[in-house]
Homo-oligomer: A and B are copies of this chain.
């Protein structure tokens, strides 16, 4: 039976297998012929388009414009910022030649050794280097600043262990790259964009996040400070959902980007960069979905409402279709995306299962009795609850219901996180409780050595040093040395 073909491994049995089943069976993405690179299928891409549109609007509201920089970066650029090269130059796709030729034995095409590049080019793993090289010519005076640019692009990092959406060799993202005249302004920008990401995660993805900054060892390669938003997945693991980097003058110095300030003095420009990627689709899935399939927040659902007719014959279908058409028109007027599925080669039960799997927030079904009573059956995907309501006022009812679903799934995720967020004071308790899949607030002495030992012994990392709330000093759970305040530990994706 079709239903069975679509069945998922239950989360309780194997969370990781459930995730993979869901991505495949809900037609979101699949692995491609190229190791580590995915195909994003139309339904998965439609979610990305909704994310892009919302984020792009938020970037523009905060004064940013889009531009496009080259895919390929000269190898030598990567070496100009010492930390950056350590972090990014190593595992990357290297272009060495620019031509193929027919094989002498007629077996196909081979690399033409005569077409070797003088300098190898790498496929961008991130674009700080090529962009700051370009900014050098754009910036002379404080009047040229700030530059507030964002780029939507594909990037590539040669990951060895990949997982659809969460970690892939090629992924889609946006990367903001801004240049400023003062340190303060760049720091403000870094925090502003972390705030934009947090708002997007909470208001659109219905995914609560903890805002903080990274410890030194978890910082972006080349940053003075990395700000992050951290979300809890259903299994209690953390997912870094967006980062915003204060780069200081590191790239200004590496690419010699100077400007004359208001006082007539020359200084290096101050930089930030910030990005989110298709990884967010993985985060979205793992935040809300269940053993029946996807649960999508209405604000990011490509289809918000599906209407399914249940009929005995063509005459009844015609009557239902007329009424459903009126309802669909009302919903569209309210800005709601609706699909009417009257395909006759699938049974209603099959369709119900299919749209549950796809996470359509609201399902409307209309049958013969509904026609008589002028009613319609409404099912909300998040709670899987049904009720039958009058057709009058259905538009407003559904609009309110979508708002309610958006809030409810946020609340559910928030409560789930609250139930798994604990404070721990001793390393013994930490080692025990981290196994439960928790976010743990604990004291840390601030040294990379302690951090690394904890990581090696427990697989937990410092997700962030929180930005909000007053820190209460204490003693490191491992070394017993002074701690400025609790930091957030978890195992992470």
Contact = CB atoms under 8 A, between A and B. Distances in A.
Interface in A26-51: 30, 32-34, 37-42, 45-46, 48-49
Interface in A67-94: 67-79, 85, 89-94
Contact of A93 (B73, B79, B98): B98
B170 A71 contact: yes
Contact of A70 (B34, B75, B79, B153): B34
A427 interface: no
Contact of A134 (B32, B120, B158): B32
Nearest to A32: B70
Given A100-B122, A109-B78, A37 B90 contact: no
What is the oligomeric copy number?
Answer: 2
Contacts of A130: 32-34
Contact of A98 (B92, B143, B153): B92
Nearest to A302: B65
A441 B120 CA distance: 47
Interface string A315-345: 0000000000000000000000000000001
Contacts of A91: 98-99
A111 B109 CA distance: 23
A72 to B, nearest CB: 5
A70 B39 contact: yes
Interface size on A, as a range, is 35 or more
Contacts of A71: 37, 71, 123, 154, 156, 170
A62 interface: no
A455 interface: no
A97 interface: yes
A39 B100 CA distance: 26
B66 A49 contact: yes
A108 interface: yes
Given A34-B74, A134-B32, A96 B94 contact: yes
A133 B33 CA distance: 8
Contact of A40 (B68, B99, B158): B68
A67 B45 contact: yes
Interface of A: 30, 32-34, 37-42, 45-46, 48-49, 65-79, 85, 89-101, 108-109, 111, 120-123, 130, 133-134, 137, 143, 149, 153-154, 156, 158, 170, 172, 345
30 contacts: A32-B130, A32-B134, A33-B74, A33-B77, A34-B73, A34-B121, A39-B68, A39-B69, A39-B70, A42-B149, A45-B65, A45-B66, A46-B65, A46-B66, A49-B66, A71-B154, A71-B156, A75-B108, A76-B108, A89-B100, A90-B99, A91-B98, A92-B100, A93-B97, A93-B98, A94-B97, A94-B99, A94-B111, A96-B111, A98-B158
